[in-house]
Amino acid sequence: QCSYIPPCARDDQENSENVTYKQKYWKEKVGSQPFTCYFNQHLRPDDVMLKRTHDEAVLLHCFLWPLVTLLVGVLIVLLTICAKSLAVKAEALKKRKHA
């Protein structure tokens, strides 16, 4: 079975209202209907959550942007090396023409 503990506020009255609201919501909307919840059966089987905090889009962004940054950095380094190499070759050609 899953349960939900709302975050605590500094005000006791606000905490009480939050708990009352959640109790009313779960009794009226959910009742005895089964619902999906997520848990890690290997590490912490007693801890469950109603909604996933991270989905596939978050994982994509966590890996995509660092990878793009790395590739742009490598591309800048390669272009710098190519430009230096071309400059050296151009200088060598210029010396041969004048000699």
pLDDT digits (tens, 9 = 90+) for 11-65: 788 888 887 887 787 777 767 666 666 666 666 656 666 566 667 788 888 899 9
- Amino acid 29: pLDDT: 72
DSSP string, 32-80: T-----EEETTTEEEEEESS-S--HHHHHHHHHHHHHHHHHHHHHHHHH
For the chain, domain boundaries: 10-47, 53-98
Return the H-helix or E-strand segment holding 87.
helix 56-98
- Specify the pTM: 0.46
Which residues does residue 44 pair with via DSSP β-bridges, in sequence order?
A: 40
- 35, 3 Cβ separation under 8 angstroms: no
83-97 per-residue burial string, b: 16 or more CB within 10 A, e: under 16 = eeeeeeeeeeeeeee
Could you give the count of Cα atoms lying within 13 Å of 65 in the half-sphere of its Cβ?
Answer: 5
The per-residue pLDDT for 57 is 82
Q: Is 82 helix (H, G, I), strand (E, B) or coil?
A: helix
pLDDT digits over 59-89, tens only? 888 899 999 999 999 999 999 999 999 999 9
pLDDT reported for residue 37: 65
